[in-house]
Structure 1
Amino acid sequence: MRNPIAALVLSVCLLAGLVPSAGARGVYGWVEFVELHLGGEALKLKAKLDTGARSSSLDAVDVQPFERDGKRWVRFRLNLPGAKRSAPLEEPIVRYVRIKRHKGPYDRRPMIRLQICLGDELRSVDVNLTNRGRFIYPLLLGRRALTGLAVVDPARTFQRAPRCAASPNGE
């Protein structure tokens, strides 16, 4: 840390157990590079680590729920900055989530489960699909995804590059 007083306060808080670090595997900045393991590819992109958000969101367009063999699925395209329009992806829907919007009614979004690499940790994360085109970061990781994995330092960015190797079964 650049501020020695802040470093001392953080150290004392950690020693006193005032900072929720139990189970956390590292300190991350509020913006980090992550890898999404989706559609047989590992895509590197920027993510905002937002402890104020409960759930995680991925920037997607052309989101179309459908049924396959009696199960709920969704077809969508990733909406990544600077990238050509992606090929459609299809994933099973884990559930739907209602997101409170600042203005207007709740937004109902499909959630899918993705493998995400943050630092050296590969884990399954449920993300809802929504058009995040007006935001800077295409992926927002909320509290549920960060619990037990990360302590977020809002004064830092890009602390740990993604370094995961997917297991043979794709998880």
Structure 2
Amino acid sequence: MRHLSIALVVSLCLLLAGSPPAAARGSHGWVEFVELHLDGEPLRVKAKLDTGAKSSSLDATDIAPFERDGERWVRFRPSRSGLDEAPLVEQPVARYVRIKRHSGPYDRRPVIRLPLCLGDELRMVEVNLTDRGRFIYPLLLGRKALAGLAVVDPARTFVRPPRCDDAPTPDN
């Protein structure tokens, strides 16, 4: 009975919050195509939706931090999944993170904010930039990016293609 009461309270809180919970918007597969909006151009990439990872990582090469008008910026080439070489992109750095590697010392990575389209949801997400060339998926979406956005069905892949063509760029 106590579990039923707790579930009822949680459900009511979610209803009163105004936005439907991610479960009500449908599930996603553990691998999905997403669109990243870099310099106004959509870049479609395969993403692994990983609820076991806290943060998100984007495959990038030629990563070069620099300063512009006293602000921290980074220049990089996003992964094109084996296609033609991507152009250099410049983005402001939101912060830096230290990622513990399985073997060796910490890795210091720049974090950028960018609009991401998953299914029909467009939102700003933070991704750290790193060379993910040895991995299958150029984008790893962790819990922070998925929270309130997606319920992941580990038995499925490519459930909901990105469809945010007419959506305005998110402010959050």
Q: CA offsets per residue over residues 94-145 of structure 1, 9 Å max, x none?
A: 0001111111111110000010000000000000000000000000000000
Deviation, 1:166, is: 5.0
CA distance in 2 between counterparts of 1:166 and 1:97 reads: 33
* Aligned pairs for 1:48-127 within 5 A: 48-127=48-127
Structure 1 match to 2:28: 28
Distance 1:137 1:49 in 2: 10
Q: Deviations over 1:76-95 (max 9, x none)?
A: 01122221111110000000
Contact 2:48 2:139 in 1 (8 A): yes
Tell me the TM-score normalised to structure 1 length: 0.84
Aligned residue number for residue 157 of structure 2:
157
Report how far residue 147 of structure 1 moved.
0.3
- After superposing on structure 2, the runs of 4+ consecutive aligned residues of structure 1 that deviate more than 4 Å are none
C-alpha separation in 1, matches of 2:66 and 2:166: 28
List aligned pairs for 1:131-146, cutoff 5 A: 131-146=131-146
Match of 2:44 in 1: 44
Instruction: Give the TM-score taking structure 2 as reference length.
Output: 0.84
- How far does residue 167 in structure 1 lie from its aligned partner after superposition? 4.5
Q: Deviations over 1:35-77 (max 9, x none)?
A: 1111111111110000011000000001000000000000001
Instruction: Report the RMSD for the aligned CA atoms in angstroms.
Output: 1.8
Partner SS state of residue 82, structure 1: coil
C-alpha distance in structure 2 between counterparts of 1:136 and 1:105, whole Å: 24
Unaligned runs of 5+ in 1: 1-15
Paired with 2:139 and 2:68, the residues of 1 have a C-alpha distance of 27
Q: Give percent identity, aligned residues only.
A: 70
2:114 is matched by which residue type in structure 1?
Answer: L
- How far off its partner does 1:154 sit? 0.7
Q: Give the whole-Å Cα distance in 2 for the aligned partners of 1:75 and 1:147.
A: 28
Distance 1:39 1:166 in 2: 17
In structure 1, what is the Cα distance between the partners aligned to 2:69 and 2:93?
13
Corresponding letter in the other structure for 1:151:
V
How many residue pairs get aligned? The number is 153
